[in-house]
Amino acid sequence: MTALTRLRLIGLGLAAGVFVADQWIKGLMLGPLQLRKLGSIELVPFFRLTWTENYGVSLGMLTADSMEMRWLLVALTSAIALVVLIWMLRERALGDVAALALVLGGALGNIRDRFNFGHVIDYADLHFGEWRPFLVFNLADAAITIGVLIILARSFLSREKQETTGEPATEN
């Protein structure tokens, strides 16, 4: 097995792992925990499970308030996931592949929700009193956010390395 094949398999495996974990947790919310029915479960003073149906994309933008908009969002996010998959398969650095795999796995989890339910299931509610640093989110959202932050950090660090050495940055 070549190093590139191994790298691709790692990326696909990580994306699949994020997808499966996301769907498993959402299954717990729908099934055994009955979060939809309960509405909210306090776990610790700063974190609760709160049932939320997100009909939009990031930060509730592009709200799908009709069947046409729902399927348009499924198509749009699926196209973005395809671009991320192709990008991931072209990368040669493990850090970039891992970051893109997080984005891909999270995107697939949210696409499946929108396809099956017409909305994304969100449940993670981090709060400090009344202050919430984030909207209610899910594992897929967290994976996407972490993946994007890694991509941005690696991009900035790579550019900084090029500027200080005057040479193209090497793959790591």
Active site (annotated) includes residue 113: no
Judged on CB neighbours under 10 Å (0-12, 13-18, 19+), 94 is middle
SS3 of 146-163: the string is HHHHHHHHHHHHHHHHHH
The catalytic residue among 22, 113, 122, 125 is 122
Active site (annotated) includes residue 65: no
Nearest to 25 by CA among 155, 148, 113, 138: 138
Distance CA 9, CA 93 (A): 13
Length of the chain: 172
CB 105, CB 143: distance < 8 Å: yes
Give the residue numbers annotated as catalytic, written as ranges: 122, 141
